[in-house]
Structure 1
Amino acid sequence: MQVSVENTGTLGRLMKIQVPAEQIDGKISTRLKQMSREVRLKGFRPGRVPMSVIKQRFGQQVRQEIIGQTIQESLGEAFRQEKLQPVGRPKVEPDVESLKGGDLEYTAEFEVFPDMGETDISTLEIDQPKANVNDDDVSTMITTLQQQRAVWESKKGKVKNGDRVALEYIAVAGETRHPAIGKERIMVMPNGGGMPVAFENATLGHKAGDTLEVDVEFPEDFRIAELAGKTARVSMDINVVEAAEMPEVDADFVKLFGVESGEIDDLKTEIKNNLERELATATTSLLKLEVTNKLLLARNDLEVPQALIEEEAGNLQKADVQRLQQNGIENPQEQPLELYLDAARQRVMAGLLFSEIARANEIQIDGERVREAIESIAQTFEQPAQVVELYYNNQNLLSGVENSVLEEQVVDWVLTQAKVKKNKMNFQEVIQIASRGR
C-alpha cells in the first residue's frame, strides 16, 4: 500500500492511497470461492455451481463490497502509518477507473487537530467572584416562596413591580428576526431577571391589550444565540397582567416546605443552607466562565477544525429549536447554521484549550470530587441513593459529570498559576451572571 499526504491548509490534509490490484483480486477470489460452496442456484446442485457462473452473477457485486471493505481497512491503516488523527469523517473519493479493475486508488480529505502550543497562564488576570448569603437574600427567597404559593388573579390596572405579565414579542436586529416566524410567548416580571432589564421593565405602567416597542441591548452571553450581543427593536403585545395574593408567613406556610417545627427561624436556616449551595455552584460556573474567556482572549489566534465548529453549531441550533418547542411554539423554523458559527467556534476552542491544559499538566479526574458532585445532584431528588446508583450505572451520565469535574480541576490549576484578583459581588449578581453564562 502506498500513501502520500498533502497539506491543503493549516489543518486540512489530502491523503492519496493506492492498494495493489493483487490484494483486491485475492480477496474477491476468496469471496467468490466461498460463495460457490454456499450459493444455491436453480439448475445446479449445492456446491456445484461453476465459477464462471458465480463470477457472471455475483462478480460485480462482490467487487464493490470488497472495495468498500478495503477502503475502510486501508484508510485506518494509513492513518496509523502516518500517525494522523482525523477530525470528523473523512471525505473519501475513489478513482472511478480503479473501481473497474487494477490497483485501487482513492483520496481522503480531512482535518487534523491543531498544534496547541503553549499558553502562558502566568500572564492571565482572573477576576475571582466573592459573595456571601446575607439576611436580605434569605428574605428575598421567602418572598419568592410566597409568590410560588400566591394566588394570581388578572387585573385591569397598570403593570407594577410584583406583577407578572404574559406577552408575545418579536425582536429585530438588522437582518435577524426572532422568532423567525410568528411571535414568542413568555411570562415576565419587572426586574425578574429572566430577560434583560430594559425588556422586563418596559411593561411597567402598561396594561393588558397594550402594544409597545422598545430598544433592548442583549448581553453577549444571552441564551438566544441570534440575539446575543445585539441591540434589537422589540415589539410586545401584552396579553394578561396578573397580581398576586400573597400567603402569610406563619406556621402553616413554613410546614409547606418540609419544616415540621413550623418555626420561621428553622425555615430561614434551611433556606440559607440551600442558597449557600446554590451560590457555590454559581460561583464555580462564573469562575469557569471567567477563566474560559481569558484563555480565549489569550489564544484568539488558535485555528480550530471547521468540522468541529459545524458539529457544535448544529448542536446549538437543535438546542434553540427544543427551547422554542418548550415555549409552546409548534414546528419552529431552524435559524441558519451561520448564526451559530461564532458561538460554536468559541465553545470548540475552549474545549480544546481545557483538554490541552489537563493533558500537559497531567491533571487526572478526581474520583472523590466526581462522587461529591453526583451526591450533590442526588440531594435534589426524593430518593438520592437511587440517583447515585443510576449515575454510576449509566456511562453517559457519569461521563458528563466527570467532564464537568475535570474542567473544574483545570480552573483550580489555572488559579494557582494566574494573577487572581478578588471581585466582591452580591448573591444576586453571581446568580444572574452565572445563569446568563450557561
Structure 2
Amino acid sequence: MQIEELLNEGLKREYKVVVEASELDARLDNVLLEFRANAKIKGFRPGKAPLSLLKRMHGDRAKGQVLNEALQESSAKLFEEKEIRPAMRPEVDMASEYEDGKDLEFTVKVEILPQVEVEGFKAPALERWVAEVEDKDVDAFIERIAGQQKSFAKAAKTTKAGEGDAILIDFVGSVDGVEFEGGKGEDYQLELGSGTFIPGFEEQLTGVKAGDEKVVKVTFPAEYHSEDLKGKEAEFKVTVKEVRKPSEAKVDDELAKNLGFEDLAGLKESVKGQLANDNNSLTRAHMKRGLLDALAEEYDFDVPAGMVDLEYRQIWDQIKRDAIQTGEAKAEDFEGQDEPADADEAAEFRSIAERRVRLGLLLSELGVKNNVQVTQEEVNRRVIEEARRFPGQEAQVFEFYQKNEEARAQLRAPIFEEKVVDFVIEMAELTDKSVSRDELEAAVRAIDEEDANPTKSKAAPKKKAAAKKPAAKKAAPKKEAAEKKPAAKKAAPKKEAAEKAAPKKAAAKKPAAKKAPAKKAAPKKAADK
C-alpha cells in the first residue's frame, strides 16, 4: 500500500492511497476460495470447482467484498501509521473503478481530533449557591399537594356550574349526523376550565344546571390525533346529571394518612428531605454552568468544522421544532431554510455550536486522562429508564439497545460527561454563597431559558490562547451535548402520591377510555442542548 499526503491544514487531512493490483488479486482469490468451499455447482464435487468458473459466476459479489475490505483495512492502516484520531467518519473518493490487474487508487479526506492540553489541569474556583430548606417552603409544597387532592360534592339542583365546578354528564358525539367511535360517554365527571376536552366544549357548558340538555357544537383541531376527525365540525348532545362543587383538602393528619404517612409531621419530614435533594440538584446545575463558563474562557483550541456543522444543524432543527410546537411558526415557514435568514443570528448559533463541541472534547479528554469510567450497570440502568418511557414496548427497547452498539454509546456519553463534571467539581475550590430557594430556582431557570433560546445566550467563549501539548492517543468518546442538564425533579413524598403532587389539574374521577372530546396532549418542548 502506498500513501501520499495531499493536504495537512489545521485539522484537515487528505491522503492518496494506492493498493497494488497484486494485493487485490490475492484478496480476490482468497474470497473465491471461501466461496468454493461452500458452493454447490453441478458437475463438480464440493470444493473442486475451478476458480475461473467461480469468478464468472460470483465475480461481482467477490469484488464487492474485496473492495470493502481493502478500503476499510487500508484506512485503518493509514490512521494507525499517521497517528490519526478521526473526528467523524472519513470521506473516501474512488479515483477509478476496481478492475482486474489494475491498482486501486482512492483519496481519504478526514478531520482529526485536536490535541487538547490537560496535563497539569487545575479546576477553576467555583461559587456554590446553597439554599437551606425553610419551613415556608415545606408548607407551600404541602399546600400544593392539598390543592390537588380536592374532591367534589353534589350541589343543589338549581346550582349553575361555573369554572372550577364539576358536572356529571352523559354525551353522544356525531359528525354530519353520524355518531363516531369513541364519541360517547356516561357518568363522566368534567371539571370546567380544566382543558380536558377540545377547545370550546367546556365553555359552552358554563351556567348549566342538573337536568339540562344541551347541544355543544365544536370543531376538532387540525392536529387532532384521529385522522377521521381532524378539522371536522361536530355536535355533542349533552345531558347534565349533577353539578358538583369542589372542596379543598385540609392540611392535617388525615391528608398525610391519605398519602401513606402516619401523621402530618411525617409528611413534613419527607417533604423537607425531598426539597433538600431538589436544592442539591439545583445547586449542582448552577455550579455546572459556572464550571463550563470558566472552562470556555480558559480553553481555546481548534475544533473540527464537521462536528461544529453537525451541532449547528441540531441547534437550528431544535429551534424550528420548538417554534412549530409552540405555534410561533408552521412547518411550511421553514421550507428550504437550512439555517437562519438573519446572518447575525446564524453566526451566534455557530458560535454556540463551536463552544459546545470544544467543551465536549475538553471534558472527554479530561475523562480519558483521569480514567473516568462508565460501568455496564450504569448503562443498563439508563436502558431501563428508556424502556419505561414506552409502556408495553419494553422488550423491543431492550432488544434495540442490545443489538445497537451506537445507540448504547449515545446513552453512555451523557453519563460519562456528568461523571467528568463531578470529578472536576470535586477538584475545585468552592466558595459557598447562601441564597434562598427562590433565588436558586430563578438562576437555574434562567440557565434553562438560555439553553432553550440560544440567541439570548451570553455564554459564547472569550478567545484566550491555551498551551497545546500532545494529548493521549485515545479516541475521544462520542460527544453528547456538553451543556445538557438534567432537570431537577420534584417528585411527591411517596410513590403513590406522585401524580397527585404533580403541577397538573386533577383528573376526573371516572375518565372514559378514548373519549373523542378529550384534547390531545401537546408535545413537551424539548430543551435545547
TM over 0.5: yes
> Partners in 1 of 2:59 and 2:113 — Cα distance?
41
Pair 1:166–1:344, CA change in 2 (3 A) = farther
For residues 1-20 of structure 1, the aligned pairs below 5 Å read 1-7=1-7, 9-20=9-20
> Partners in 1 of 2:48 and 2:362 — Cα distance?
63
Pair 1:7–1:266, CA change in 2 (3 A) = same
Equivalent in 416, 424, 431 of residue 410 of structure 1: 424
Pair 1:154–1:114, CA change in 2 (3 A) = farther
1:348 alignment partner, SS class: helix
For the Cα contact (< 8 Å) 2:126–2:291, is it kept in 1?
A: yes
Equivalent in 254, 258, 266 of residue 256 of structure 2: 254
Name the % identity.
Answer: 22
Indicate whether 1:144 and 2:153 are aligned.
Answer: no
For the Cα contact (< 8 Å) 2:372–2:416, is it kept in 1?
A: no
Indicate whether 1:427 and 2:437 are aligned.
Answer: yes
> Partners in 1 of 2:148 and 2:249 — Cα distance?
10
Indicate whether 1:116 and 2:126 are aligned.
Answer: no
Could you list the per-position Cα deviations for residues 239-291 of structure 1 after superposition, in whole angstroms to 9, with x for gaps in the alignment?
Answer: xxxx986322122212233222x2x3332222111101111111112101111
Residue in 1 that maps onto 2:298: 298
Shift of 1:345: 3.2
For residues 203-352 of structure 1, the aligned pairs below 5 Å read 246-260=248-262, 262=263, 264-299=264-299, 301-312=300-311, 338=339, 342-352=351-361
Q: Give, as a single letter, the amino acid of the residue that structure 1 aligns with 2:293.
A: N
Indicate whether 1:356 and 2:365 are aligned.
Answer: yes
1:89 alignment partner, SS class: coil
> Partners in 1 of 2:316 and 2:73 — Cα distance?
34
For the Cα contact (< 8 Å) 2:25–2:100, is it kept in 1?
A: no
Pair 1:8–1:83, CA change in 2 (3 A) = closer
Q: Give, as a single letter, the amino acid of the residue that structure 2 aligns with 1:13.
A: R
For the Cα contact (< 8 Å) 2:364–2:417, is it kept in 1?
A: no
> Partners in 2 of 1:318 and 1:349 — Cα distance?
20
> Partners in 2 of 1:119 and 1:334 — Cα distance?
49
For the Cα contact (< 8 Å) 2:130–2:433, is it kept in 1?
A: yes
Greater relative CO (CA pairs within 8 A, separation 6+): 2
For the Cα contact (< 8 Å) 1:114–1:304, is it kept in 2?
A: yes
Shift of 1:23: 0.7
> Partners in 2 of 1:151 and 1:327 — Cα distance?
33
For the Cα contact (< 8 Å) 1:32–1:62, is it kept in 2?
A: yes
Normalized per residue, the structure richer in helix is 1
> Partners in 2 of 1:338 and 1:9 — Cα distance?
27
> Partners in 1 of 2:115 and 2:55 — Cα distance?
50
How many residue pairs match? The answer is 329
Q: Give, as a single letter, the amino acid of the residue that structure 1 aligns with 2:261.
A: V
2:89 alignment partner, SS class: strand
For the Cα contact (< 8 Å) 2:20–2:102, is it kept in 1?
A: yes
1:86 alignment partner, SS class: coil
For the Cα contact (< 8 Å) 2:283–2:440, is it kept in 1?
A: yes
Pair 1:428–1:99, CA change in 2 (3 A) = farther
For the Cα contact (< 8 Å) 1:147–1:244, is it kept in 2?
A: no
> Partners in 1 of 2:17 and 2:338 — Cα distance?
33
Pair 1:69–1:365, CA change in 2 (3 A) = closer
For the Cα contact (< 8 Å) 2:285–2:444, is it kept in 1?
A: yes
Could you list the per-position Cα deviations for residues 297-337 of structure 1 after superposition, in whole angstroms to 9, with x for gaps in the alignment?
Answer: 333x43222333344456667877998999999x9789766
1:258 alignment partner, SS class: coil
Pair 1:49–1:11, CA change in 2 (3 A) = same
Pair 1:108–1:290, CA change in 2 (3 A) = same
> Partners in 1 of 2:310 and 2:360 — Cα distance?
13
For the Cα contact (< 8 Å) 2:67–2:98, is it kept in 1?
A: no
> Partners in 2 of 1:26 and 1:102 — Cα distance?
13
Could you list the per-position Cα deviations for residues 212-257 of structure 1 after superposition, in whole angstroms to 9, with x for gaps in the alignment?
Answer: xxxxxxxxxxxxxxxxxxxxxxxxxxxxxxx986322122212233
Moved more, 400-409 or 104-113: 400-409
Shift of 1:127: 3.2
2:88 alignment partner, SS class: strand
Pair 1:166–1:421, CA change in 2 (3 A) = farther
Please, what TM-score do these two structures have when normalized by structure 1? Answer: 0.61
Shift of 1:410: 1.2
Residue in 1 that maps onto 2:517: none
Residue in 1 that maps onto 2:163: 155
Residue in 1 that maps onto 2:107: 107
Pair 1:254–1:287, CA change in 2 (3 A) = same
Could you list the per-position Cα deviations for residues 111-169 of structure 1 after superposition, in whole angstroms to 9, with x for gaps in the alignment?
Answer: 1111223599779564321221112211221222123324699639xxxxxxx9969xx
> Partners in 2 of 1:51 and 1:401 — Cα distance?
53
Please, what TM-score do these two structures have when normalized by structure 2? Answer: 0.52
For the Cα contact (< 8 Å) 1:283–1:430, is it kept in 2?
A: yes
1:114 alignment partner, SS class: coil
Pair 1:102–1:118, CA change in 2 (3 A) = same
Q: Give, as a single letter, the amino acid of the residue that structure 1 aligns with 2:63.
A: R
Q: 5+ residue gaps in structure 2?
A: 153-160, 165-192, 197-244, 341-348, 386-397, 403-407, 449-484, 486-529
> Partners in 1 of 2:15 and 2:162 — Cα distance?
68
> Partners in 2 of 1:165 and 1:423 — Cα distance?
41
For the Cα contact (< 8 Å) 2:21–2:100, is it kept in 1?
A: no
For the Cα contact (< 8 Å) 1:131–1:427, is it kept in 2?
A: yes
For the Cα contact (< 8 Å) 1:129–1:283, is it kept in 2?
A: yes
> Partners in 2 of 1:85 and 1:350 — Cα distance?
18
> Partners in 2 of 1:259 and 1:6 — Cα distance?
73
